[in-house]
Chain A
Amino acid sequence: MGSRPLEDTELVERARHGDVAAYETLVRRYQALAVRAAYVIAGRAEAEDAAQEAFVKAYRALDRFRPGAPFRPWLLRIVTNEARNRVRSSRRREALALRAVAVSGDAAPSPEAAAEELEARRELLESVERLPPADREVIAFRYFMGLSEAEMAEVLAVPAGTVKSRLSRAMTRLRTEMVATHE
């Protein structure tokens, strides 16, 4: 894990004592991850606002943060709650989309291969989008954001075994959806 957790701990401690610059360092460190988490849960239109709100709420809640605890999963839990609440209150969620990519250079695949890859990604994304929110969430946390199962357990506030079983159930449902996409 290197020195990062220690460094987070110190920044959190300074922020708790009113050092806004220290908090800003934490915001910069986790901004991309927070926006990505909000994006996979609530969609593009809500992502930035939800992440910003979560950082503001986390700052306000710093006096309740357990000293020495990892900041990252604690923050992600606040982001997750914020994003979920936004989906709930708007009662709809914008679907995830693929980024438009310009492919060029020597390593670029042929146009046919690129089109095939794009189509395969689009189909997989459609299958993920058809999953129930809880399944989509665990798949997104694990594979789109690269969280470990242990970290997911902290973010979702469930035992590690529960993450494993939820993930396994989500992957089974995803396979079923993928077959349906092809039919």
Chain B
Amino acid sequence: MSEDRLEERLRDLGSHLDAPDATALPDGVRQRLQEEDRPRRRRGLAALLAAALAVAIVGGGALAFLLIPGVEIRRVPTPPTAPAPGAPERLDLGRRVSLAEARDAVDINVLIPQRLGSPDDVFVGRRPDGGRVTLVYEPDSDLPEDENTGVGMLVTLFRGSTEPAFVQKEAGPETSVRPITVEGSPGMWIEGAPHAVMYVDGDGRLFSDSLRLAGNVLIWQVGEVTLRLESRLPLDPSLEVAASMA
């Protein structure tokens, strides 16, 4: 069969597919937007509150705040230091698995940034409850190597309803922390001097052996899942990667 003939047959097939009727859609969308009116205002308030807190933190003191479930950012007077990174194995990301194994192992929807395609490596960690998945992207022409991690980008997903804060970050005075909106959800953008990432155990103790530094970080939520992108990318391209996970 010629290429033209096959294309013609595919178009004909497309016109005979049993696609559902879309006429009820505008009503459904309108209803959803109306229902969200109240939570939208609440989110607006939360963003305002976060802005006020961020100002307070930049203003001084070892204030801590918790905006995104499971994430705590603590302002410290001196920038943190950490051992130099090496291969992804040394980043304390957990067990190396395939993407399919990761999806079976955790209790969360493992979203992939379509912008970056399939990850080069996938790791699964046991903490917090529900599991944690880290997608590793090696550096390439679009993704410069992050000297803090030794890779191009780390994408971490975990269930955000963890108490106490599962991820703690210590940010020195040179690090800027600001609240932003990512795909309609509250998020944080952390850039500037590297900040420390620590994991916290069930008793609230810090794991010092997993102390490592992070570069630019975008943290936000999709439903119950907290997502974190770490790379050298500035805010806009980071937001584009985040949007491709919506």
Contact = CB atoms under 8 A, between A and B. Distances in A.
A143 B14 contact: yes
A4 interface: no
Contacts of A80: 114
A97 B25 contact: no
Given A121-B13, A143-B10, A20 B33 contact: yes
Given A24-B26, A57-B183, A124 B10 contact: yes
B246 A78 contact: yes
Given A31-B26, A144-B17, A85 B10 contact: no
B32 interface: yes
Instruction: Name the interface size band of chain B.
Output: 35 or more
Interface in B216-246: 239, 243-246
A52 B25 contact: yes
B59 interface: no
Nearest to B36: A56
B41 to A, nearest CB: 12
Contact of B18 (A61, A96, A124): A96
Contacts of A9: none
A85 B111 contact: yes
Contacts of B6: 171, 174-175
Interface in A77-114: 77-78, 80-82, 84-85, 88-89, 91, 96-101
Contacts of A116: none
Interface in B136-172: none
Contacts of B239: 64
B30 A20 contact: yes
Interface string B87-117: 0000000000000000100000111001100
A27 B29 contact: yes
A171 B110 CA distance: 30
A47 B19 contact: yes
A33 B18 CA distance: 14
A59 B17 CA distance: 29
B204 to A, nearest CB: 32
The 5 closest A-B pairs by CB, nearest first: A60-B184, A144-B14, A143-B10, A35-B22, A31-B22
Interface of B: 1, 3, 6-7, 9-14, 16-26, 28-30, 32-33, 36, 103, 109-111, 114-115, 181, 183-184, 239, 243-246
Interface of A: 20, 23-24, 27-28, 31-32, 34-36, 39-40, 44, 47-48, 51-52, 55-57, 59-61, 63-64, 77-78, 80-82, 84-85, 88-89, 91, 96-101, 120-121, 124-125, 128, 139-140, 142-146, 156-157, 171, 174-175, 178
9 contacts: A31-B26, A52-B32, A57-B184, A57-B246, A61-B246, A88-B109, A100-B18, A120-B9, A124-B13
